[in-house]
Amino acid sequence: MSPPSSIQGCRIIELPKIHDPRGNLTFVEGGRHIPFDIKRVYYLYDVPGGESRAGHAHKTLEQLLIAMSGSFDVTLDNGTVRQKYHLNRSYIGLYIPNLLWREIDNFSSGAVCMALASDCYDESDYLRTHEAFLSFIRKST
């Protein structure tokens, strides 16, 4: 697991894990285990070796990222501090509030990253370049 966060609001969330000899079960309830209602679920898979994903920030969207299979690294940036998390357990999620730049890389073979999002897809919520992200947060403070 990763160290405690020094980035505002970001945190590791351990999800319920029900042990059973036939296989374990984990579940997520929006508004209970995570601080938002789930409006969208998507997942990244078959990411070629050496490739990275994300490379953006959201103005209002919140997310929880979970390594459903394999592992990957998530680097978060608030404009001042960068912090890396290594996700490799299907019962551990990384909560990412809005206004944090995120990069996902170092995918293991067969890795699956599931994202739970607080809202439906809205292109206008994205900050697609790091420069646009830094400009937006300077104007917001």
How far is residue 110 from each of residues 1, 15, 90, 122, 129, measured CA to CA in Å? 20, 22, 13, 29, 28
Q: For this structure, is 58 an active site residue?
A: no
What one-character DSSP code corresponds to residue 133?
A: H
The catalytically annotated residue of 19, 33, 56, 86 is 56
91 neighbors 19 (Cβ within 8 angstroms):
no
Residues taking part in catalysis = 56
